[in-house]
Each structure stands twice: as C-alpha cells, then as structure tokens.
Structure 1
Amino acid sequence: MKYTTEIYIDLPREDVIALFEDTTRLPDWQRGLQETKLLKGKSGEIGAKRKLKIKLEGQKISMFETITDKDLPNYWHGNYSGKGFTSSQKNYFEAVHAHQTYWKCESEFNFSGFMIVISKLLPTIFKKRSELVMKDFKAFAENGISQRNT
C-alpha cells in the first residue's frame, strides 16, 4: 500500500525542522506515543534505531524506527517495523516563502499475518493516521497544542 500525505505549516522551514528533529517533543505531536528509546547509533543520525511504544485505540503497539537517509532541511527518510508490518516514510520539506513550509510524506506499507486482513478491511486507517499526525504537528508547531497524554 502506497500513499502520499501533505500539509502546509505557517512557520519558517528552519523552525519546522528544529521541532521535527527534537525527540523530546515527539509526544506533543505523535498522538499516543508513550515511550521512545534509542537502541543504536546517535539520535537523529542516519542508521540510528529507536524503539517506540504507542497506544492506539486502546492497543499498545511497539515498533522500531531506523533513519535511512536525511539531508535536512530538505528531506528525512525512515523505516518502521512492528508485528505484521514494515513501512518506509519519505518526508520532504520545502520553504514556500519565509513564513510557510510545505511538508510532503510518501508512505509505503507491507503487511504480513493478521495485518493483511486489517489492511484489506480498513485500508484507509493508515492514511488517516498519517494525516492526523501531520495535523497534530501543525497544531503543535503553530499554536502549542500538545497531544502529550492524549
């Protein structure tokens, strides 16, 4: 499954990137994120691997994030894996003008086991989650509205 999500953020690209890279702020815009732990490498660098624990719809999910490529402020790419899925996320950031940033994310998911069934029954759930994360980032970046403890 492949899809693209996008959003405009009313902040300079440098501010967007600073917030995007600040791992201490992840719970403020990644709804349900309960814990992150660096497992390998230097935080924020290519090859770094992090374990994420997320609570979604009452379910606790563990997944692993690996930064695969980055050239900020232009792009940041990562792979994610968890029980029954792998995904790649390619994030691109473009300065529209001095006070606005365009963020585009290209997502690709591969499923196994029970997650194949979920992806067939609820195919839009993954894109909706990606859109929600982007909207939450925008709300936090522009207005300080946090999803921490949501």
Structure 2
Amino acid sequence: MKYTVSIEIALPRERTVQLLADPANMPKWLRGLVVHEPLSGVHGQVGTESRVVMRMGQRTFEATETIARREPADLHGIPEGSVVHFDREISGEGMWSVTRDRLTEAGPETTLWVSENEYRFDGLLMRLVGLLMPGTFRKQSRQHMRDFKAFAEQGEDVREAKD
C-alpha cells in the first residue's frame, strides 16, 4: 500500500526542520508516542536504530525505526531552494514501512511538507488489516501532520488535547 500526504506549515523551512528533527519535541506532536529511544547511533542520524512504542486506543505497537536518509546532514544554514529529505524505515511484527519526507520552501515564511508512505504486511491478519483499513493509515499520517502544524505554529501539545 502506498500513499502521499502533504501540509503547509506557516514557518520558514529551516525553523520547521529544526522543530521536526528535535527529539524533545516528538511527544508534543506525535500522538500516541510512548517511547522513542535510540538503540544504536545518534538520534536522527543516518543508520541510527531506535525502539519505538506507539499506543493507539487500547493497542500498543512496538517497532524498530532506522534512519535511511537525512539530507542535508547539517540542518543549520540550509541553502535556499534546496529540499530537505528525511527517510526512515519502520519494522514491527507483521509490518514494514518506509516514510520519505520532503520539506521545501513554499514561500519565504511557509514550508511544504510532503510525506510518501509505503506499507508491506506479513501474515494473514496483518494483510487483512492492510486490505480492509487502508484509509486508517492515511488518516493517521494526516493527523500526525496536523498535530505537528498546530505544535509548530501555535505551540499546541497533543498531550494536553481533549479529544
């Protein structure tokens, strides 16, 4: 299953990238995050493997995230007009996914975040989930992006949200 989602953030690209790349910010906008801890490497750097635990309703999902690409490596002083790339692979029981995030300048004070997502499922149950609920994955990706936008633009914290 593949899909692409996007959102505009009303902040300059360099500031958006800094907020997105800072691990201290993740619990503030990544709804359902329980744990995100590096197992090897340095958070956000290519090759780093991290343990990720997410809670969705009554379910908890544990996976390993591997940073596959981060360009440029230094997120300060990003050249004007260049594209920032964050690619990560996530593997867990019965599932593998890759997310390719691209951040570009949509204007002097606006960033366009485009996220290409691909999922593969193993086992009968997970394949059924993928077939019967493809919209759920897209909806969750859009929610994470909207939550990041609210955090970046207004300082909203999902941990304080009253859903």
TM bucket by the smaller chain? over 0.9
Matched residues, number: 150
After TM superposition, the structure 1 = structure 2 runs for residues 68-107 of structure 1, keeping only pairs within 5 Å, are: 68-72=68-72, 74-107=84-117
Q: Which residue of 2 aligns with 1:47?
A: 47
Q: For residues 69 and 16 of structure 2, what CA distance do their matches in structure 1 show? A: 18
Please name the residue that 1:112 is paired with: 122
1:148 aligned onto 2:155: no
Shift of 1:63: 1.1
3-state SS of paired residue (2:64): strand
TM-score (norm 1): 0.96
Of residues 124, 127, 149 in structure 1, which corresponds to 2:138? 127
Max Rg structure: 2
Deviation for aligned residue 1:148 = 2.6
Q: CA deviation at 1:57?
A: 1.8
| CA displacement, residues 40-84 of structure 1 (integer Å, 9 cap, x when unaligned) | 112211000111111102101111110001104611111011111
Task: Could you list the structure 1 runs, at least 4 aligned residues long, displaced by more than 2 angstroms after superposition.
Answer: none
Whether contact under 8 Å (1:32, 1:149) holds in the other structure is no
Q: CA deviation at 1:149?
A: 6.5
Is the counterpart of residue 33 in structure 1 residue 44 in structure 2? no
Determine helix, strand or coil for the equivalent of 2:5. Answer: strand
Cα distance between partner residues in 1 of 2:150 and 2:51: 25
Paired amino acid for 2:112: Y
Unaligned ranges ≥5, structure 2:
73-77, 79-83
